[in-house]
Structure 1
Amino acid sequence: MSERGDMVLVADVHLGRDDPDLEPFCAFLRARARDTAVMVLLGDVFSLWLGREKFTESHHRAVLDACRELRRAGVRVVFIEGNREFATARWRGDAFDEVDEARAEAPWAGRTWYLAHGDLLNREDRRGLLFRSLIRSRPVVGAFGLLPARAGLALAARIERSLRSRNLRHKTSIRRARFDRYAAWLAARGYDGGVIGHLHVELELELPCPGAAPRRLYVLPDWRTGRRVLRIPAQGEPRFESPGPTRPNPPAVIEVRERAGRAELTLERAVGAAPGTRVAVSSGHGPEVRRGLLVSCDPAARHAVVRLEPGPPIQAGDRLLGVDDA
């Protein structure tokens, strides 16, 4: 078992109403009282959370209660807002020790880490960045606060549903150049490494920085799919792990081209399955999946073609279910 001095980070749980993963996630949090000094919730814990008391529902409260238990056990709980959480600073000192959009962690395991959700990684997505700035602006957040609870939640839910189909050309691939630029940004500000989520893909990268030592970047997968987290020991190297009950960890989509229900996928690792195999694609945003049939599979190229039933567009970071590692 790890020492109590560890820092554990989890991201992209995307909990919603009547969510079957709510209790398993709360159990995961409560269990960290045994082996964790700092518990970091790295954003998008909820499919949507407007922060104010009147917008806080039973699934929000269950997680808040679990975090309060951790604090009473002596664990420091840090909440970093994702792109689906707003106005949460009011819970600082209650369920969380610290609340922020992004923050530098004090030196840990011999390094100074920059922790962020990761939705600002793609600086090319100007429309997305503008929308993010607008939706988080004081006038918009204030206007939401004036709405009755039911009306505010209904409007926010419509906005949340629209996010998945918004600005798709920036969501169909995970590009190495974005990580290289991020590493240079970390180095310029004196950070030894960074941890982000948002992309739903598990990555451990050693990124070169001109004129400086390489920077380490860890990208957290979504918790719902494989229940994977990052543990940074007080001494030793960071590692991904699956504490508690685990699930299969299906391959993530790195790049997708979709047209008329036919999707060409580049995957994070080689898989094998016969044409005609029933498959599904999961976004990690909830229990729903998009089902279909495998048309072809090339393990050497980490490439698969699937024909899918109608549904939300596939994005980089989604998971292909129903195939085995090659």
Structure 2
Amino acid sequence: MFIADLHLCAAEGATTRAFEAFIAGPARRAAQLYILGDLFEYWAGDDDLADPYHQHIARLLADLTQHGTAIGFVAGNRDFLIGEAFTATTGVTRLTEPVAITLGERPAVLLHGDTLCTDDHAYQAFRQQVRDPVWQRAFLARPLAERRAIIENIRAHSEAGKRQKAADIMDVNPDAVAAAFRAADCDLMIHGHTHRPATHTHTVDGRPCERWVLADWHGEAPYLAWSDGTLRRELLTV
């Protein structure tokens, strides 16, 4: 199964309940669950595991991995600071994108999706900065309260900036998609980030390719499931 863009936080009770129901229900039927980024609204560092809400989510994930469902996590633009303490607590495996997998006999590539949005130059510059290990060490050295305040300020500016950007700038760039298919040498891609769920067809060097975009969560649990040789979209409502 594949999910992305849950943006879990204590203020979103309906989405939290959807996640609880997903973990207790469909996810237990999966041999493998891939979380393709933005599990949380934001993550300020693994010392934030002490927060009661984060403890609750971590316990749900730990219960699922102990049940026998393997969980692979690809960092998103909101939770790239998830680290070893979180993975040790939950049993989740952090993966480095692009992630190459095989569904049946079909090779596929998994991404969060933000690296495909290359027309948003301001975001790509920001991404390069915050993914720098030197920047991350300096940021994580700050007190947790200060980190939270900085992130909240960044989020506020980001939301304001989105309203001034053309919609197509925040979607994927076709050349970036083609390059990702070529690099992975596959014809199937699954990603999130754009909050524009759809199944797209591309032709890359004469080869037909499919790109499945995952839905974000808003009080429901949309997920993608692979079984019996096919991909299908499922929706758990609470």
The TM-score range, normalised by the shorter chain, is 0.7 to 0.9
Provide the C-alpha distance between the structure 2 equivalents of 1:145 and 1:87, rounded to a whole number of angstroms: 9
CA offset at residue 176 of structure 1? 8.5
The answer on whether the counterparts of 2:190 and 2:214 sit within 8 Å (CA) in structure 1 is yes
Corresponding position of 1:79: 73
Provide the C-alpha distance between the structure 2 equivalents of 1:195 and 1:50, rounded to a whole number of angstroms: 26
**131, 152, 155: which is aligned to 1:157?**
152
Provide the C-alpha distance between the structure 1 equivalents of 2:219 and 2:11, rounded to a whole number of angstroms: 17
**68, 74, 85: which is aligned to 2:62?**
68
Alignment of 1:18 with 2:11, yes or no, is yes
Corresponding position of 1:306: none
The answer on whether the counterparts of 1:121 and 1:182 sit within 8 Å (CA) in structure 2 is yes
> Percent identity at matched positions?
25
Q: Where does the alignment leave 5 or more consecutive residues of structure 1 unmatched? A: 1-7, 247-326
Q: Does the C-alpha gap of structure 1 residues 112 and 58 become closer, same or farther in structure 2, counting only changes over 3 Å?
A: farther
Bigger helix fraction: 2
CA offset at residue 74 of structure 1? 0.8
Cα distance per residue 1:215-242 (max 9 Å; x no partner): 1110011122653111112x32101111
Alignment of 1:185 with 2:180, yes or no, is yes
The answer on whether the counterparts of 1:55 and 1:149 sit within 8 Å (CA) in structure 2 is no
Q: Does the C-alpha gap of structure 1 residues 82 and 101 become closer, same or farther in structure 2, counting only changes over 3 Å?
A: farther
Provide the C-alpha distance between the structure 2 equivalents of 1:138 and 1:148, rounded to a whole number of angstroms: 18
Q: Does the C-alpha gap of structure 1 residues 141 and 176 become closer, same or farther in structure 2, counting only changes over 3 Å?
A: closer
SS of 1:115's partner is strand
Higher RCO (CA < 8 A, seq sep 6+): 2
Corresponding position of 1:224: 218
Alignment of 1:147 with 2:172, yes or no, is no
* Max Rg structure: 1
Q: Does the C-alpha gap of structure 1 residues 29 and 143 become closer, same or farther in structure 2, counting only changes over 3 Å?
A: same
Q: Does the C-alpha gap of structure 1 residues 96 and 81 become closer, same or farther in structure 2, counting only changes over 3 Å?
A: farther
Calculate the TM-score normalised by the size of structure 1.
0.66
Deviates further, 161-170 or 38-47: 161-170
Aligned residue-pair number: 236
Provide the C-alpha distance between the structure 2 equivalents of 1:66 and 1:98, rounded to a whole number of angstroms: 15
Q: Does the C-alpha gap of structure 1 residues 147 and 188 become closer, same or farther in structure 2, counting only changes over 3 Å?
A: closer
Deviates further, 71-80 or 138-147: 138-147
Provide the C-alpha distance between the structure 2 equivalents of 1:170 and 1:28, rounded to a whole number of angstroms: 34
The answer on whether the counterparts of 2:22 and 2:221 sit within 8 Å (CA) in structure 1 is no
**After TM superposition, which residue ranges in structure 1, 4 or more long, deviate above 4 angstroms?**
167-171, 174-177
Amino acid at match of 2:9: G
Q: Does the C-alpha gap of structure 1 residues 65 and 176 become closer, same or farther in structure 2, counting only changes over 3 Å?
A: closer
Q: Does the C-alpha gap of structure 1 residues 155 and 222 become closer, same or farther in structure 2, counting only changes over 3 Å?
A: same
Q: Where does the alignment leave 5 or more consecutive residues of structure 2 unmatched? A: none
Provide the C-alpha distance between the structure 2 equivalents of 1:125 and 1:68, rounded to a whole number of angstroms: 36
Corresponding position of 1:132: 127
